[in-house]
């Protein structure tokens, strides 16, 4: 998808970046990967017959949302950590350059996973195979969430981390409100309404005492599949230490019973249900902002998110 955050280096620059990472190989072919919404990505074939994936952060100076700051650092270092401490299949990081000496952005190369994204082949699979993939995704997501940290907050933003989950989550909500104000984005509601309702529900967040590693963006496009088996998970850039229920697999409009079965959490307490609804709110706040921050061609995404944000807030009011 086209987005204002996607870097568009020339072919010559792409070749220089590749040469820095693989000095003994030459570029045979470059193919842009367009499924993502934030970073630019390319599949590059090398003269030694390897295929690698290049991800490039937005150009320096690009206006991004607060939670998107330093996320390439988050992706590179979290993937290395997950590969080290779990058995979850992730692509190996091959090279990372944050010097901005070749292009005015960070970038990294990783190995190309075998297979294709689950989202791209989902419609071609029978129900049994889809159930198996959802189940395995749940298993892997649970394994990710068993990794624990010492503070809550986004992985690459240590200055915004804290020891109490409610305080950190409230600051994440505040960041979206301030990001909306920065570009004069209409939320169709008073920010005070959101914050007052959140404060009323503070007790339900206090039971979250252990910062767990959260992928936060594990939708079907970020799950790679081959021969009906999950071959790897990608796009760790938005990872954080938090409540595992903020994972996309627990969103109210996205829950899949086979994913939940694989995860090992098929029933929710009332407290968990309340937090799940608040994590819905957070997601829709971010999606509301995306149209303007990424300069999409239409406002369809904005209207979709606003409608769902209103529904969530009304449901919280009526609870």
Mean pLDDT, the chain, rounded, equals 95
**The whole model's pTM is what?**
0.95
Q: What is the 3-state secondary structure (H, E, C) of 121-168?
A: HHHHCCHHHHHHHHHHHHHHHHHHHCCECCCEEECCCHHHCECCHHHH
Helix (H) or strand (E) holding 177: helix 165-182
- The larger pLDDT score, comparing residue 89 to residue 59, is at 89
Rounded average pLDDT over 200-206: 98
Element (H, E) at 280: helix 270-294
223-234 per-residue burial string, b: 16 or more CB within 10 A, e: under 16: bbbeeeebebbb
* Torsion, Cα of 3, 280, 144, 21 (10° steps): 10
Q: Is the pLDDT of residue 6 over 80?
A: no
Q: Using pLDDT thresholds of 50, 70 and 90, give the confidence band for residue 8.
A: confident
- Lowest model confidence (mean pLDDT) among 32-36, 191-195, 216-220: 32-36
Buried b (16+ CB within 10 A) or exposed e, 99-125: eeebbebbbbbbebbebebbeebeeee
In 3-state terms the chain splits into helix, strand, coil percentages (rounded to 5) of 45, 15, 35
- Residue from 162, 158, 251, 144 nearest 209 by CA: 162
How high is the pLDDT of residue 136?
98
- pLDDT tens digits, one per residue of 221-277: 999 999 999 999 999 999 999 999 999 999 998 899 999 999 999 999 999 999 999
pLDDT band at 3 (very low <50, low <70, confident <90, very high): low
Query: What percentage of the chain reaches a pLDDT higher than 70?
Result: 97
Angle between helices 300-318 and 270-294 (to 10 degrees): 160
Using the predicted structure, report yes or no on whether residue 1 has a pLDDT greater than 60. no
| Greatest C-alpha distance within the chain | 64
pLDDT digits over 24-81, tens only? 999 999 999 877 667 889 999 999 999 999 999 998 888 999 999 999 999 999 999 9
Confidence of residue 304 (pLDDT cuts 50, 70, 90): very high
Is it the case that residue 109 has pLDDT exceeding 70? yes
Domain boundaries, the chain: 11-111, 116-318
The share of the chain scoring above pLDDT 90, in percent, equals: 90
Provide mean pLDDT across the span 177-205. 98
* Superfamily for domain range 11-111: Phosphorylase Kinase; domain 1 (3.30.200.20)
The closest of 218, 286, 213 to 248, measured between CA atoms, is: 218
Structure tokens at 11: 């072919």
116-318 shares the fold of 11-111: no
CA distances, 216 to each of 45, 102, 108, 234, 310 (Å):
30, 31, 21, 11, 22
Looking at CATH, the fold of the domain delimited by 116-318 is given as: Aminoglycoside 3'-phosphotransferase; Chain: A, domain 2 (3.90.1200)
Q: What is the pLDDT of residues 155-190, one digit of tens each?
A: 999 999 999 999 999 999 999 999 999 999 999 999
């Amino acid at each position: 998808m086209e987005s204002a955050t996607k870097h568009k280096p020339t072919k010559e620059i792409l070749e220089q970046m590749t040469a820095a990472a693989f000095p003994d190989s030459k570029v045979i072919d470059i193919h842009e990967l367009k499924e993502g919404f934030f970073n630019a990505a390319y599949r590059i074939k090398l003269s030694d017959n390897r295929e690698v994936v290049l991800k490039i952060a937005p150009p320096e100076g690009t206006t991004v949302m607060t939670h998107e700051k330093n996320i390439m650092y988050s992706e590179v270092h979290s993937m290395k950590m997950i590969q080290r401490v779990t058995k979850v299949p992730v692509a190996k990081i091959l090279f990372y350059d944050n010097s901005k000496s070749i292009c005015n952005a960070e970038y990294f190369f990783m190995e190309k996973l075998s297979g294709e994204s689950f989202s791209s082949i989902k419609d071609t699979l029978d129900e049994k195979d889809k159930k198996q993939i959802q189940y395995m995704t749940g298993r892997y997501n649970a394994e990710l969430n068993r990794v624990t940290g010492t503070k809550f907050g986004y992985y690459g933003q240590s200055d915004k981390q804290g020891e109490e989950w409610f305080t950190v989550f409230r600051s994440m909500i505040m960041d979206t409100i301030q990001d909306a104000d920065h570009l004069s984005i209409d939320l169709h509601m008073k920010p005070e309404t959101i914050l007052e309702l959140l404060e009323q529900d503070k007790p339900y967040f206090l039971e979250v005492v252990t910062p767990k590693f959260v992928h936060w963006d594990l939708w079907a496009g970020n799950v790679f599949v081959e021969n009906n088996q999950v071959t790897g998970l990608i796009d760790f850039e938005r990872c954080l230490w938090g409540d595992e229920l903020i994972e996309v697999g627990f969103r109210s409009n996205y829950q899949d019973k086979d994913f939940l079965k694989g995860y090992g959490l098929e029933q929710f307490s009332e407290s968990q249900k309340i937090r799940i609804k608040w994590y819905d709110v957070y997601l829709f706040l971010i999606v509301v902002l995306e149209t303007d921050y990424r300069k999409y061609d239409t406002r369809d995404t904005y209207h979709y998110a606003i409608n769902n944000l209103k529904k969530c807030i009304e449901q919280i009011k009526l609870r």
